[in-house]
Amino acid sequence: MDFEPIAGTEELRKEFEDFFKEVMKDAPPGWENSPDDLATDEGWAFHRRVARELGKRGWLSLAWPKKYGGLGKSIFEQLTFNEVRAYYRAPGVDGFGMAMVAPTLLAMGTEEQREEFLPPIARGEVTWAQLWSEPEAGSDLANVQTMAVRDGDYYILNGQKVWTTGAHNADWAFAVVRTSKELTRSRGLSFLLFDLKSPGVEIRPLPTMSSHSRKVEAYFNEVFLDDVRVLVKNRVGEENQGWAITRATMNFERSGLAGLGGIRHSLDELIDFCKETRWRGKPLSEDPLIRYRLAEIAVGITAGQATARHVLWGQHRVEMGEAPAMEMVPRASSMKYYQTELDQRFVYLGCQIMGLYGQLKRESKWAPMAGKFERLYQSAPGPNIYAGSTEIQKNLVAWIGLGLPRT
Ligand SMILES: Cc1cc2nc3c(=O)[nH]c(=O)nc-3n(C[C@H](O)[C@H](O)[C@H](O)COP(=O)(O)OP(=O)(O)OC[C@H]3O[C@@H](n4cnc5c(N)ncnc54)[C@H](O)[C@@H]3O)c2cc1C
């Protein structure tokens, strides 16, 4: 991979930094850009405001072709945007729309679908939800049971989805459903797009331990589908061949570029805390064990950033039709596994450095760093599970990346 063009994006990086520094002055207190931050009315309104601003600037679609509302910039300019936004933990990007639906339609959608769905994503006007998991289909996603039965120009959907992030705030869904009872498992699935305000859609909140800890509304949901009518023209790919689309979309989701910037920002804050906080007469920053462990995280971030560039490069080649989607699998899985594990190690380290005080919530006047690491700790397990658990990513690297037998 050629890293050279990154040097030419410094001016743009400064523009992004100036924008996000200014925008984040209006962030609600304690903002981490986590699902629980977005679960509050104030947090959601902040996200929507930033989304519209980014849309006006064309920054949600930097590397897309101009005819779909993109700016036609390079993948390196897109990468710079992702890194800077992640560092400032800024909202405004609907990850499902921008990182999953858009690349999927660019690579595999019809011209009509691209023209209909891409411009609203670019303008920051629409929010998407991922309706894939079901009570009996998580890691084993090919076991999806939600049925879509053809009725003229429509499919009629019946079934239940679970763990749907942000469905209560979303406008549209991309779903994996069963379109054949005869074809088993992944052979009988299709990939559909539909309006979440359609009659027959019921969304119920699903609280998690982090939402309880912060007394916020749940950000995850169960979605029940009862005779929901979906236009056949909103199917991506052929009927019963939705698994190939799902696999490609998964890999766009697993590229995981945003997370590393957030870890970097929190690491900088933890370093400042260690410089300012004295323990047994000395700053924490002079403790050899703490220094080593902070250094380990910094090395981990640097290695991750290089891998993230490699993944983005691969993703761009798939979007442009220059590489098969399969090529992305081991790279995206490695990145997803690596970044979420690094994040979890970092959050545990933060809590350990704080000692027993690290368990105090932000309401306590004794909570170090305003209870930041307590909050991060509560939400850290989720990323190791969603978008395919760590075990599933390792299985994929072993099978597709290393050529070991499939299990
Ligand atoms: C916070 C959060 C947000 C989510 N958001 C969404 C969303 O927006 N949309 C959506 O569709 N889904 C979402 N999910 C669902 C997520 O994709 C599933 O939870 C995930 O795929 C795991 O499936 P499961 O929960 O059924 O667990 P299971 O598949 O039952 O897995 C249980 C355990 O067994 C392990 N395991 C399973 N199979 C294997 C295997 N073959 N080899 C080794 N180990 C294995 C897993 O690693 C895990 O540790 C979300 C989940 C969480 C936690």
Distance 139 CA to ligand 1 centre (A): 5
Q: Is 94 in a helix, a strand, or coil?
A: coil
Residue 75 CB neighbour total at 10 angstroms = 18
As to burial, measured by CB atoms within 10 angstroms (0-12 exposed, 13-18 middle, 19+ buried), residue 136 is exposed
- The atom number, within ligand 1, closest to the CA of 387 reads 17
Does residue 133 have its Cβ closer than 6 Å to ligand 1? yes
Separation between Cα atoms, residue 206 and residue 218, nearest integer Å: 6
Q: Is the dihedral of CA 165, 171, 174, 180 positive or negative?
A: positive
Q: Which residue has the tokens 């070991």?
A: 404
Contacts of 75 (CB under 8 A, 6+ apart): 63, 312, 313, 316
Does residue 138 have its Cβ closer than 6 Å to ligand 1? yes
Active-site residue identified among 77, 253, 319, 374:
253
- 130-239 is a CATH 1.10.3720.10 domain: no
Q: Which long-range contacts (CB under 8 A, 24 or more apart) does 379-383 make?
A: 379/34, 379/35, 379/36, 379/208, 379/210, 380/343, 380/344, 380/347, 380/348, 381/344, 382/35, 382/208, 382/210, 383/259, 383/340, 383/343, 383/344
Separation between Cα atoms, residue 32 and residue 50, nearest integer Å: 15
What's the confidence (pLDDT) of residue 1? 54
What's the confidence (pLDDT) of residue 257? 61
Q: Which residue has the tokens 């729309």?
A: 97
Query: Best of 139, 220, 343 to mutate for ligand 1, by most ligand atoms within 8 A of CB?
Result: 139
pTM: 0.91
Does residue 143 have its Cβ closer than 6 Å to ligand 1? no
Does residue 139 have its Cβ closer than 6 Å to ligand 1? yes
Distance 193 CA to ligand 1 centre (A): 22
Which CATH superfamily groups domain 4-93? Acyl-CoA dehydrogenase/oxidase, N-terminal domain (1.10.540.10)
Distance 353 CA to ligand 1 centre (A): 31
Query: Best of 34, 36, 101, 133 to mutate for ligand 1, by most ligand atoms within 8 A of CB?
Result: 133
CATH number of this structure's domain 254-401: 1.20.140.10
Residues of the chain with pLDDT under 50: none
Separation between Cα atoms, residue 263 and residue 346, nearest integer Å: 8
- The atom number, within ligand 1, closest to the CA of 381 reads 53
Instruction: Tell which residue, 174, 146, 142, 176, has the closest CA to residue 159.
Output: 146
Does residue 338 have its Cβ closer than 6 Å to ligand 1? no
253 is annotated as an active-site residue: yes
Q: Is the dihedral of CA 99, 96, 338, 330 positive or negative?
A: negative
Distance 405 CA to ligand 1 centre (A): 22
Distances (CA, A) of 19 to 50, 147, 261: 10, 45, 16
- The atom number, within ligand 1, closest to the CA of 96 reads 8
Does residue 219 have its Cβ closer than 6 Å to ligand 1? no
- The atom number, within ligand 1, closest to the CA of 389 reads 47
**In this predicted model, what pLDDT tens digit does every residue of 181-213 receive, in sequence order?**
999 999 999 999 999 999 999 999 988 877 665
Distance 351 CA to ligand 1 centre (A): 26
Distance 342 CA to ligand 1 centre (A): 19
Q: Which residue has the tokens 């290695």?
A: 303
Does residue 207 have its Cβ closer than 6 Å to ligand 1? no
What's the confidence (pLDDT) of residue 216? 61
Does residue 337 have its Cβ closer than 6 Å to ligand 1? no
Distance 390 CA to ligand 1 centre (A): 9
What's the confidence (pLDDT) of residue 320? 75
What's the confidence (pLDDT) of residue 23? 97
Q: Are 129 and 200 in contact (CB under 8 A)?
A: no
Which residue's C-alpha comes closest to atom 7 of ligand 1?
164
**In this predicted model, what pLDDT tens digit does every residue of 150-180 receive, in sequence order?**
999 999 999 999 999 999 999 999 999 999 9
Does residue 164 have its Cβ closer than 6 Å to ligand 1? yes
Domain ranges of the chain: 4-93, 130-239, 254-401
